[in-house]
C-alpha cells in the first residue's frame, strides 16, 4: 500500500514539473504571439520560444491539465485521469509539431529551397512530448491495472 502511494506521489511530482514547464512556456508563447499579432511585433524573441499565439494557448491548457493532477501528491488516486488527459494532449500536439517539421523538410526538398531545420526542431512542444513519454507509459499502464 505504501509503495503504491509513493508511486502515485512520484507520478504527481512528475506531472507537477511538466505542468509548470508547460504553463510557463505557454504564457511566454502566448504573450509573444499576442504582441506579434496585435501590436506589430514581439518585444523580444528567442530561438527556443516560438512566437505563436495559438500554440502558446494549447501549451498553457496542457500545463493546467498537468497541474490539476497535483492532488495525486495528497493521495487522491482519482486525479490520475488528469494525467491521462494531459499526456494525450501532449502526445497529440507533440506529434503534430513533428509532422509539421517533416512537412517543412519535404517541402524544402521538393522546391529546392534551403531549410532551416533547427528552427522547426527547436519547438519546445516536441521536446516536452518526448520528456512526457515515460509519464504517459507509467500512467496508462497504471490505469489499465485492475484494482
Only one residue has cell 504571439, namely 33
- Is the full-model pTM beyond 0.75? yes
Residue 28's CB: how many other CB atoms inside 10 A? 20
Pick 42 or 98 by higher pLDDT.
98
Predicted confidence (pLDDT) per residue in 86-137, tens digit: 999 999 999 999 999 999 899 989 998 887 877 778 788 999 999 999 999 9
d(CA 50, CA 122): 9
3-state secondary structure of 73: helix
Query: Cα dihedral angle (71, 76, 82, 83), rounded to 10 degrees?
Result: 90
Contact 90, 25 (CB under 8 A): no
Residue 36 has pLDDT above 80, yes or no: no
Q: Quote the mean pLDDT of the chain.
A: 86
Amino acid at each position: 500500500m505504501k509503495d503504491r502511494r509513493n508511486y502515485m506521489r512520484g507520478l504527481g511530482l512528475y506531472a507537477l514539473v511538466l505542468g509548470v514547464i508547460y504553463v510557463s512556456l505557454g504564457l511566454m508563447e502566448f504573450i509573444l504571439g499576442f504582441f506579434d499579432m496585435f501590436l506589430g511585433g514581439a518585444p523580444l524573441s528567442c530561438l527556443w520560444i516560438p512566437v505563436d499565439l495559438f500554440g502558446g494557448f494549447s501549451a498553457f491548457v496542457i500545463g493546467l491539465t498537468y497541474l490539476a493532477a497535483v492532488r495525486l501528491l495528497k493521495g487522491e488516486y482519482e486525479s490520475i485521469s488528469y494525467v491521462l488527459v494531459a499526456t494525450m494532449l501532449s502526445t497529440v500536439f507533440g506529434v503534430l509539431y513533428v509532422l509539421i517539421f517533416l512537412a517543412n523538410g519535404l517541402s524544402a526538398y521538393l522546391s529546392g529551397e534551403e531549410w532551416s531545420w533547427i528552427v522547426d526542431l527547436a519547438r519546445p512542444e516536441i521536446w516536452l512530448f518526448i520528456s512526457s513519454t515515460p509519464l504517459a507509459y507509467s500512467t496508462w499502464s497504471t490505469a489499465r491495472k485492475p484494482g
